[in-house]
Amino acid sequence: MSAIHSSQLAFFAAHAPFDRMEPGHLLWMLERMSLAYYAAGEVIISPEQGSVERFLVIKQGKVNGEQSVAHATETDAWLELVAGECFPLGALLAKRPVASVYRAASDTFCYELAAADFNVLLGMSAAFRDFCTRRIANLLEHSKQLIQAQYTQSSAEQQSLTSPLAAIIHRAPVTCAPDTSVRQALHLMHESRVGSMVAVDGQRRPLGILTLPDVLERIALPQIDLDQPVIGIMTTQLTTLPPQALAHEAALAMAKHGFRHVLVVEDGRLVGLVSEKDLFALQRVGLRQIGSSIRHADSIAALQGVAADIRRMAHNMMAQGVAAEQLTQFISTFNDLLTVRVIELESAASALHDTPLLQGVCWMALGSEGRFEQTLNTDQDNALIFTVPEGKTADDVRAQLLPLAERINAGLDLCGFPLCKGRVMASNPEWCLSLEEWKRNFSGWIMHGTPEALLHASIFFDFRALYGTQHLAEDLRAWLSRVARDNTRFLHQMAENALVNRPPLGIVRDFVVGKENTLDLKLNGITPFVDAARIFSLAAGVTHTGTIQRLRSSAEKLNIHAAEVDAWIDALLFIQVLRMRHHDEMSGQGNADAVLDNRINPERLNELDRRILKEAFRQARKLQARLALEYHL
């Protein structure tokens, strides 16, 4: 191998996707590459040159992608590229001209490969093809491995929650017929050394389950007749999942409902049983234990101690490589359980306990909690919706509910959910309203479209029922979906407002930074995706509140290509991962009460994460370009 090949190999080995290519494929590429020089200010590729004829990798220097307003809706958004980055992938794959002018920002050297050879390489190298066709997803996989390595030392014993349940089942479930006696069932459990027994019919359809905790509660303490059929004392309301469901789904079900086993069923037949021990035998903080601690807490003080467990759980899951979408669902689920328990405790201690008034009230989650997108840095955003009993007015009901709402907000504050500085809370009379009052508010915001109305819409339109009479929130959602979809003027105003917040890509530097050379991952990174998804969902009549669900469900109705949506979602999830890592690092600096923020210094990220963050912001620009196209902005 020549010296020049050795130096080239060393260069390419430091950058994706070349670091994952087979040596033979990489050498094949290098043998066909040439090195070109471009002076500062020189145009490298432009739309006027026609279909792209070469694939370029920057060896040294910097390249800027300059984009005019006329091209704002094209696939290739404005960008800045540095050593190790390649371009123009979109144009090469589509066999079309570029949409941007690629210009050398300084004296620049580029490795170049002819388009024909590029296409041959796509067929040869799966790693290269995967990167080119799923660029951000491929980069995310690189980053995920680094994150797992970073956390492995402190959580080496964690087992993966991304495995399908079929891979976790280690033995066939121990079963019996429903008419088996209790005595026989217990003897079989003892002989088989298992903690559960499942009753099945002749087609192996599960009918009931008996677990060791049931033995004490349902057999030993009541001293029942051991010769009666075991089905009579079994739990018959069963939760089942298919074999292809992931372990995190089983864990989430255990945490939410407080049981220890999930039945794995395929085509109605029992094929396995997954226990909490199977999922979390080596985990220091079990998910069901956290859920159980919340449900059985008898005071706000008891609930305060759960917050530390939730943070440890988040750290452990990041070590396992649990995806951001799943992790935020876990965090939101536990926050939901904790909020519900605070509501239960404070309601039981209030003068309204056991009164008919509470039968017509629903506590609503707003903002990130309403979208199931909470991280460890979450303040309160909530509201109340109620019915007005005959003979009373909305003001009468509000006067009775506000003292209780104040107690609940104060309790949540003590449990680690700070009071909202903007007072978007149920204890604020403005947000403790009847169903008809909420409709009037929403109608006013939609009809007028003032800056204040648009701000309110960005918060309150992400509501979901959390506790109480849930159909009130569901009725409001269905009504809003109909009204907003038909008001194109309001959607246009929301889109115009959303485009004010541009992703922080810089001209001189990679990123536009603020105080102390930091950028806000929530405001500048997450919000553009959240705002666009909200508008798309309203336009498409989608009732989901989660950003990812909104994007996926709206895409087909708005004729947005699935691959485009997947890239947006990958970008959003990476920014969310950075946020959670940042919060985890802040909370792990020896101060559990540290005030968490969303500001990071991009210069402190490793090279790979900086590169992915740039690509994520670029995807945000593409999403905004699509929004601008839809509303002619």
109-113, 416-420, 502-506: range with highest mean pLDDT:
109-113
Which of 492, 476, 571, 488 minimizes the C-alpha distance to 524?
571
Residues 115/52, Cβ–Cβ less than 8 Å: yes
Choosing among 3.10.580.10, 3.40.50.1100, 3.40.50.720, 3.30.470.10, the CATH entry for 165-280 is 3.10.580.10
Average pLDDT along the chain: 86
Q: Which tokens go with 559? A: 């004729």
pLDDT given at position 284: 43
Mean pLDDT, rounded, for 250-272 = 88
Which residues face 261 on adjacent strands? 275
> Structurally, what CATH architecture does the domain formed by 324-633 represent?
2-Layer Sandwich (3.30)
| Full-model pTM | 0.67
∠ CA 163-139-79, rounded to 5°: 150
Calculated CA dihedral for residues 551, 557, 558, 563, nearest 10 degrees? 50
Helices (H), 95-200: 115-124, 126-133, 135-152, 165-168, 182-192
The string of pLDDT tens digits covering residues 584-633 is 778 765 444 567 789 999 988 887 788 889 888 989 988 998 999 899 88
> Which pLDDT tens digit goes with each residue over 10-57?
899 888 889 889 999 999 999 999 999 999 999 999 999 999 999 999
Section 304-311 average pLDDT = 77
User: Who has greater pLDDT, 168 or 385?
Assistant: 385
Q: In which element (H, E) is residue 179 found?
A: none
| Least confidently predicted of 33-37, 302-306, 503-507 | 503-507
Tell me which DSSP letter residue 357 carries.
Answer: G
Which of 317-326, 416-425, 556-565, 592-601 has the weakest average pLDDT?
Answer: 317-326
> 546: exposed, middle or buried (C-beta count within 10 Å: 0-12, 13-18, 19+)?
buried
Q: Is the separation of the CB atoms in 417 and 332 below 8 Å?
A: no
Q: 461-499, pLDDT tens digit by residue?
A: 999 999 999 999 999 999 999 999 889 999 999 999 999
Q: For position 221, what pLDDT does the model report?
A: 86
Domain definitions of the chain by residue range = 3-133, 165-280, 324-633
Q: Are strands 599-600 and 86-87 parallel, antiparallel or unpaired?
A: unpaired
3-state secondary structure of 56: strand
**pLDDT, tens digit (0-9, with 9 covering 90-100), for 325-360:** 778 888 888 889 999 999 999 999 988 887 888 889
- For 108-163, write each residue's pLDDT tens digit: 999 999 999 999 999 999 889 888 877 666 666 666 556 655 555 444 434 466 67
Taking the C-alpha atoms of residue 179 and residue 185, their distance in angstroms, rounded to an integer, is 10
Length of the chain: 633
Indicate the fold that domain 3-133 takes in CATH.
Jelly Rolls (2.60.120)
CB atoms within 10 A of CB 3: 7
β-strand pairing of 196-200 with 175-176: parallel
